[in-house]
Amino acid sequence: MNPRVKGLLWISLHIGVLALLAGLWMLSIKNQRAQFSNHLEVQIIKSNPENSLITKNEIMTHLKYFFKKDWRKIRQYNLHTKELEDYFEKLSTVHHAEIYMDARDNFHIDIYQRDPVMRVIDIANNQFYIGSDGEKIPCSTIYSARVPVITGLIPELVGSSIWSKSNMAYQTMFKLSTEVSKDAFAKALIEQIEVNQSGQIQLIPKVGKEKINFGAVVQVKEKLEKLKFFYEQGLPYAGWNVYETIDLNNDGQVVCKKYQQAI
């Protein structure tokens, strides 16, 4: 056979094989895109299992609203996963979302919930949460979070984030609330953080009548360690409801003031 003809046949054979493979690949993609999803997996990721700001039932309701019909009747290429991610990320309780199809044609919705660190009741009696990213989370009758409640002389929040110069008071409370949430003892003890008429910060425990004078939000870890030591080592000897105030503002010691006994 003519070498030139032989070469052309060899090239033609390779081109034919490549064309066949490309055709099969395109057919595979087309078939996959034409398929319906087999199964829906909804996962809610949150740092604290006690705080549930969004439920699977709510996600399914949002899913129905987004598609205007049952998602099982929609082919994969029409599921619009990026647009659906954008939709969920506009919800105040959602930090971000990851939505995708896996190799077995399962439809996945992974919702990363915002993590509240404090609940605020400001001077105008507005109530809302602040998340770990410093963003505002509206209160709801559907959910509640076990976090310290910030009360007293708290100005109204400017905007929806605490990270502006106008919201310095919120940044201070955020720092304190975050440290309280990191400390297992303080988290179990402290129910409320109050800014009183003198502008001083007081911690109010879940049990007992005493108020804890915290002072400025400095040396937070050291003050919380002193508080823990006092409750574990000192308070059991004196008894509960004996002290009116517990002061953490003195270096190396805790100063307590007893209730005045009636004469």
pLDDT tens-digit map of 89-112: 999 999 999 999 988 889 999 999
Per-residue model confidence (pLDDT) at position 263: 41
Per-residue model confidence (pLDDT) at position 19: 65
Per-residue model confidence (pLDDT) at position 1: 57
Whether residue 6 lies inside any domain: the answer is no
**Mean pLDDT value across residues 233-256:** 81
Joined together, the tokens standing for residue 159 give: 């905007």
Per-residue model confidence (pLDDT) at position 9: 59
Per-residue model confidence (pLDDT) at position 251: 79
3 state DSSP class of 186: helix
**CATH number of the CATH domain containing 148:** 3.40.50
pTM for this predicted structure: 0.78
The answer to whether residues 198 and 109 belong to one domain is: no
| Domain endpoint, select from 113, 135, 156 | 113
DSSP alpha helix (H) spans, 35-106: 56-67, 81-89
Q: How many domains does the chain have?
A: 2
The answer to whether residues 156 and 192 belong to one domain is: yes
Q: Name, in order, each residue with C-beta under 8 angstroms of 185's C-beta and a sequence gap of 6 or more.
A: 224, 227, 228, 231
Range of the domain at 153: 116-258
3 state DSSP class of 250: coil
Residue 156 contacts residue 167 (beta carbons within 8 Å): no
Whether residue 30 lies inside any domain: the answer is no
